[in-house]
Amino acid sequence: MSKRGFASKNSQDAETGVEKRRKTTSDNVRTHSADIPEQRENDEYTVGWICAIEPEYLAAHLCLDETHRSPTCRPSPNDTNTYVLGKISDHNVVIACLPDGSYGTSSAANVATNMLRSFPNVRIGLMVGIGGGAPTLDRDIRLGDIVVSSPGEGKGGVFQHDFGKTIQKQDFQETGFLNRPPTTLLTAVMKLRVEYRRERGNFEKAIDRVLDREEEELQEELGRPDASTDTLYRSNFVHPAGSKTRCVETCGIDPTNLVSRPERSRPRSPVVHYGLIASGNQLMKDALHRDELAEKWKVLCFEMEAAGLMNDFPCLVIRGICDYSDSHKNKVWQGYAALAAAVYAKDLLRQIHPDHVKAEEKIAGIIRVMEDIKQDTGELRCMQHDEANKVILDWLTPTDYGPQQSDYLGKRQPGTGQWLLESREYQAWLKSSKQTLFCPGIPGAGKTILTSIVINDLHKRCQDGVCIGVAYLYCSFRRRDEQKADNLLASLLKQLSQERPSLPHSVKALYDQHKSKRTRPSFDEISRTLQSVVAKYPRVFFIIDALDECQTSNDCRTRFLTEIFKVQAKSEANIFATSRSIPEITEIFEGSILREIRASEDDVRRYLNSHISRLPSFVSCNEGLQEEIEASIVQSVQGMFLLAQLHLDSLIGKRSPKAIRTALAKLPTGSEAYDHAYQSAMERIKGQSSDQRKLAQEVLTWITSAKRPLKTSELQHALAVEVGKSKLDEENLSQIEDMVSVCAGLVTVDDESDIIRLVHYTTQEYFERTQTQWFPAAETDITKICVTYLSFSVFETGFCRTDAEFEERLGSNPLYDYAAHNWGKHARKVQKCDQGVIDFLQDVKKVEASSQAIMAVKRSWPSKYSQDVPKKVTGLHLAAYFGVHGAASSLLKPWQDMDLDDSYGRTPLSWAARNGHKAVVQLLLDQGANIETKDRDGWTPLLHAVKSEHETVVKLLLEEKADIETEDESENMIGRT
């Protein structure tokens, strides 16, 4: 019994018709042990062999020296391929075939993608089968010959003939020259080429050896047809359309229609040709076009699959010629041509040492879908670094979590976090697809640092040769306004897109769709595009930290998680998430792999040993005291890593061993430990000199009350502002190191992002609970500083006329962006409107300058972005925009025009309705504002409120008899709600 047999993806050892027809002569008889096919691991297969149709698949099967059983690891659940596994020479080979009836580059790419998911160690590929010849006067290509893709003249060996461009008044220009095969295969081609030239009959004998082992039925099916059936018609002689009879009967053998060719010296021995193979999505049946391409590009053969592979499945294309790429097609030569190509591939593998294959890079994970494959990667490989792509990616979202990842990982103490990476739960999550690992933990347990460790671990795995997609989010209470559901999805899409060798077509298409209208993509559009990009990766990992800090308004968190789980259901994606143990979040992850995060004692000890040198010098020379400090802190933290840092900081100012031991005895534990630690830190701040205490108070006031994270330069300028002054005194700037040091360990600077922040979310929560104690006038003080900054004389010039001038303004005045965007948010919380606010709002030029800083968004559309904003904005517009009731009331005069519009046609009422400020809307209506004014797009205040989903404002406007039938240019917004 033969050792060859089919091994399917469903691990069923089915007896096939091939086995039934196999000869049973004595030389095919095996011992009982040999009758049992070997079973190997998936990663032992290093050669991938792809076929398109059944004759090619059969021929490949017959060329195996032995066949293996299905591998120990089942193929990926989404893998629809059927495989034959076996051995040729010293190589383990996996053979796959396109689904029945599927042809073309896209189908081939799908087969290769599935193969590489299930057999990730495949390093070289062969595309073996039949093709149509392109004979010329210089190239005597005949049926049964072989064409091997061979690079030359800067071309990669395969040419996509239906990929190009049309230029007015010029011919169609093909541009799709694809990647060259790997060097190992090209070297083997040269060795075999020499062998065939020295021993001309070797190829013919190799084919006969394969056929001799088979039954007569297979010999007849795969044997060489009679030479009389090899007929080459002239290019202008076309087979009659609709004819169902054989070509020889329909077209005949009239010599005037035939190309005369001399008989070969070895008529039964196939000739091997080396050169360019043209691949496309349509069968080549036009002899005139065939000749044109053959002449222009020296094409030797036409086929339909290779272009789907070459750029991402480094392979050699081997084609047995079964017709002449014209209208006179038939299947007489298909069997023999398929067998000849398979035998050549087998001989080729004999030339390659297994070590040379192992030296090639793994191909797993670099398959792209067809829209990427159709591009000339030699030209596009660096596109992600191109400015045009950066514009598109930043248009998706300007948020970049890379600096945060670097900052958090940089704070990792070497060796910490290994317990999670080595845990049974993490390993199970890592090894299987569609898995979710949820890691809840108490505040300060170290969830964020551990998240950065997980991300780093995944990135390392990609560097090891397995190309995986990793996209991550660090949710933050400070970024809630920008971390809405669509922005979170867009961040994941941006990260996965920028990791591709070229920008995914679906992302470019999404940008192009909105570019002309200058609109933003919808939530559903972002989700669909994300799914298409996820499909480009063999595996994708979504990492989400601090879900408890994700905003819950408008169901943001629930909506986002629901969509991510939908993406996971349609792909192989894995999800890793951390959060505090909040019931509504825990419920969402019910059924997921669960691993609680608590600071391990070993990790705490590593941290303390590394940082104990920060304590007074008398500690460093007292090992016993060091051991006491370590033991006491380890015992007190109870799984809260942050407490170790806070407790160690609390000892820095101690002046004797006794003082340290006294402090250790009082270390707080349990749920109130953080409040005690922060209270202690504030007491230490109060014990500093008056200047240090004042600086710490101002730093903490700003960081705690700011509406978004602050850059160090922004905070430096904020603290340097002297209320009432018309410019900034540079000599009043504080040093960053001083700003951090006076805050008793409560403040840190992220080096990569240059963000100065509180050490933890629990610190923010503590100050929010105790704000009236520590920062009772925070909103008032920050409002005054912001409007003072906006009122500096440097802004008297008003609106900047160019992007360069505008960017220079922002760069030279670091606090300007924050002050312009947020002064009103702080002022809205102040009971009494400061006169400085009124003075600023009555300064036309400074209001214009401020409005430009608010409205100009570079990420949307790069060209003249600073000019594409509303002009003629007044102080009343800004007061309405921010909902500052006191300021709006002060600006309203009897002679005031309530309906004065800006250059976009928006009135103060429109801005107040758009941004949901009910009290200001009511104020303006009470003063006689027109409820039906329309802006340049035909939008009324009601339509703005509806679009922005401000229900209370919508209700108020309807109560005031706003016209519900009002429509904009394109749709009835009321009808959508």
Helices (H), 535-640: 556-569, 583-588, 601-611, 617-620, 623-637
Token pair belonging to 628: 């006491």
What whole-number distance in Å separates Cα of residue 722 and Cα of residue 732?
Answer: 9
**What are the Cα distances from residue 747, in Å, to 735, 736, 761, 763?**
14, 11, 12, 9
State the DSSP H helix or E strand holding residue 336, giving kind and residue range, or none if neither.
Answer: helix 334-350
Superfamily of domain 870-977: Ankyrin repeat-containing domain (1.25.40.20)
> DSSP letters along 38-59, please?
----GGG--EEEEESSHHHHHH
Nearest CA-CA partner of 298 in 450, 157, 411, 125: 157
pLDDT of residue 364: 61
Would you say how long the chain is, in residues? 977
| Amino acid sitting at position 742 | V
* DSSP calls for 839-883: HHHT-HHHHHHHHHHHH--TTT--TTGGGSS--S--HHHHHHHHT
Q: What is the pLDDT of residue 72?
A: 74
Burial class of 407 by CB neighbour count within 10 A (0 to 12, 13 to 18, 19+): buried
pLDDT of residue 791: 96
What pLDDT score does 523 carry?
93
Query: At the topology level of CATH, where does 382-594 sit?
Result: Rossmann fold (3.40.50)
Three-state DSSP state, 577:
strand
SS (H, E, C) 96-163: EECCCCCCCHHHHHHHHHHHHHHCCCCCEEEEEEEEEECCCCCCCCCCCCEEEECCECCECCEEEEEE
Fold of the domain built from segment(s) 17-373? Rossmann fold (3.40.50)
- Write the CA distances from 774 to 383, 494, 720, 736, integer angstroms: 52, 41, 21, 22
* Token pair for 607: 């941290």
pLDDT of residue 154: 46
Residue ranges of the chain with per-residue pLDDT less than 70: 1-36, 101-106, 152-156, 161-180, 242-245, 248-249, 305-312, 314, 364-387, 463-466, 480, 671, 859-863, 966-977
What whole-number distance in Å separates Cα of residue 908 and Cα of residue 941? 9
Residues 826-878 have pLDDT tens digits of 999 998 888 999 999 999 999 999 999 999 887 545 567 888 889 999 999 99
Q: At what angle do helices 334-350 and 54-62 cross, to 10 degrees?
A: 40
Structure tokens at 248: 């020889």
The sign of the torsion formed by the CA atoms of 110, 113, 119, 124 equals positive
Question: What is residue 569's predicted lDDT score, i.e. its pLDDT?
Answer: 92
What does the pLDDT read at residue 330?
79
Residue type, 323: D
Give the model's pLDDT for residue 241.
Answer: 72
Please state, in angstroms and as integers, the Cα–Cα distance from residue 168 to each residue in 165, 376, 445, 824, following that order: 10, 22, 65, 56
- Cβ atoms of residues 893 and 867 within 8 Å: no
Question: Measuring CA to CA, how many Å separate 278 from each of 138, 540, 763?
Answer: 18, 34, 65
- Interatomic CA distance for residues 487 and 579, integer angstroms: 20
The rounded distance, in Å, linking the Cα atoms of 654 and 618 is 10
pTM for the model stands at 0.56
Single-letter residue type at 281: N
Q: How many CA atoms lie within 13 Å of 692's alpha carbon, on the beta-carbon side?
A: 15
Beta strands in 610-732 (DSSP E): 710-711
Tokens describing residue 401: 């979590």
Rounded Cα–Cα distance for residues 650 and 615 (Å)? 10
Distance of alpha carbon 81 from alpha carbon 111, whole angstroms: 6
Q: Which pLDDT does position 248 carry in this prediction?
A: 67
Q: Give how far Cα 966 sits from Cα of 452, 584, 936, Å.
A: 51, 40, 14
In whole angstroms, what is the distance from residue 796 CA to residue 789 CA? 12
Pairing of strands 66-67, 83-88: antiparallel
Position 46 scores a pLDDT of 94
pLDDT of residue 819: 97
> Which pLDDT belongs to residue 751?
86
Which residue do the tokens 């018609």 mark? 233
Same topology between domain 382-594 and domain 870-977:
no
The domain locations on the chain are 17-373, 382-594, 601-667, 870-977
**Nearest residue to 792 via CA among 713, 706, 723, 870:** 723
Question: Residue 277 and residue 303: Cα distance in Å, rounded?
Answer: 8
